[in-house]
């Protein structure tokens, strides 16, 4: 089961730690405070989701992590290095896939990757060999010699990911990597992301598609109005009631069993052939399931109606708007 985490208790000063350590980072543009106070830790070998509403400062935070923007306050360490004092050390270990898809329109896919590799100080032969590897990795071999302007959005997305991977970085920042991808490509992306994590890389993925993140992320950082949610807020959100989806072959029997289990009839919502019931946390859910099975109801589905991240997203968004 996925756990939402904001860990500040890890040993962040340990240079061997690697990963990403962000402490109280703030950045404003004139009078607009894009990021006010962001803190989180991303551990090597894990995928961290960065979620938040539009305009919450996700991209600004990503740009600071990508060593492009200087924070006004706070500190960032990428793979143990400071992006603003040891920029080159960070850049050689960092891959960034931006949310804006740009490519050199007249250059072929293969040459795009070769040039990207050469920008990381690889010589021509090494760069060409690495470009060939990355082409296979992101499944663009068939289009290798086409100019990038003929690529579809999904193909450009894969090229952008390939460019971020060209120097085999230990830290990867993916800004909206799944947008514009068809379901098959999304599944491939998920497999690739998990594989990269299993190789020990640190990944931060920002996305609006929360169900996507649910499937690939080990943890999440919630950003709202430029502030990362505190551990307490996330714990609170986990404890709040959320709807569970229950399906049984006999809906009437299910409803009767639920009412017998102490749930008010008015609290049971019907969604086509399924019933939705609000439950406080996982313990309550397990308890209810045991009781339903004990009552002899043939259950075929018993799951949260919204993903963990979506629940946290909606819960924290509504909390802060109060």
Interface with other proteins (CB under 8 A): 29-30, 63-64, 66-70, 83-84, 87-88, 91-92, 94, 96, 98, 100-107, 111, 115-116, 118-121, 160, 163, 167
C-alpha of 138 from chain center = 19
| Rounded distance between C-alpha atoms, residue 73 and residue 275, angstroms | 49
Instruction: Using alpha carbons, select from 315, 314, 223 the residue that is nearest to residue 37.
Output: 223
- What six digits make up the tokens of 279? 């439950």
Nearest distance in Å: CB 244, other proteins? 41
**13/106 with CB nearer other proteins:** 106
| Residue with smaller CB distance to other proteins, 79 or 94 | 94
| DSSP states of 4-44 | ------S-TT-GGG-SEEEEEEEEEETTEEEEEEEEEEE-T
Least distance in angstroms from the C-beta of 167 to other proteins: 8
Task: Report in angstroms how near the CB of residue 115 gets to other proteins at its nearest.
Answer: 5
User: 3-class SS at 284?
Assistant: helix
Closest separation in Å from C-beta 179 to other proteins: 14
Nearer to other proteins, 71 or 219 (CB): 71
Taking the complex as a whole, how short is the minimal distance between the CB of residue 212 and other proteins, in angstroms? 22
Nearest CB to other proteins, comparing residues 161 and 192: 161
Closest to other proteins by CB, 107 vs 289, is 107
Distance, CA of 166 to CA of 253 (rounded, Å):
57
Residue 222's H or E segment, with its range, is: strand 219-224
């Amino acid at each position: 089961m996925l756990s939402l985490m904001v860990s500040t208790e890890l040993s962040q000063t340990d240079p061997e730690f690697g990963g990403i350590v962000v402490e109280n980072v703030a950045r404003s543009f004139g009078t607009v405070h894009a990021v006010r106070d962001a803190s989180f830790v991303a551990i090597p070998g894990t995928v961290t989701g960065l979620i938040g509403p539009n305009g919450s400062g996700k991209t600004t935070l990503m740009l600071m992590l990508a060593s492009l923007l200087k924070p006004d306050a706070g500190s960032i360490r990428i793979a143990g290095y400071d992006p603003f004092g040891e920029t080159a050390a960070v850049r050689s270990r960092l891959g960034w896939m931006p949310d804006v898809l740009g490519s050199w329109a007249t250059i072929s896919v293969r040459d795009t990757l070769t040039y990207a590799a050469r920008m990381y100080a690889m010589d021509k032969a090494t760069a060409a060999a690495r470009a060939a590897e990355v082409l296979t990795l992101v499944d663009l071999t068939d289009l290798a010699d086409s100019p990038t302007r003929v690529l579809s959005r999904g193909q450009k997305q894969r090229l952008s990911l390939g460019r971020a991977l060209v120097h085999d970085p230990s830290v990867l920042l993916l800004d909206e990597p799944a947008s514009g991808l068809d379901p098959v490509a999304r599944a491939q992306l998920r497999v690739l992301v998990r594989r990269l994590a299993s190789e020990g890389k640190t990944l931060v993925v920002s996305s609006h598609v929360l169900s996507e993140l649910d499937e690939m992320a080990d943890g999440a950082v919630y950003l709202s109005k430029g502030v990362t949610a505190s551990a307490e807020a996330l714990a609170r959100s986990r404890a709040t009631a959320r709807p569970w989806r229950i399906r049984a072959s006999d809906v009437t029997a299910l409803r009767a069993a639920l009412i017998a289990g102490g749930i008010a009839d008015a609290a049971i919502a019907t969604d086509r052939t399924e019933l939705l019931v609000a439950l406080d946390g996982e313990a309550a859910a397990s308890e209810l399931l045991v009781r339903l099975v004990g009552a002899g109801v043939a259950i075929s589905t018993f799951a949260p109606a919204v993903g963990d991240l979506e629940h946290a997203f909606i819960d924290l968004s509504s909390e802060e708007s109060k």
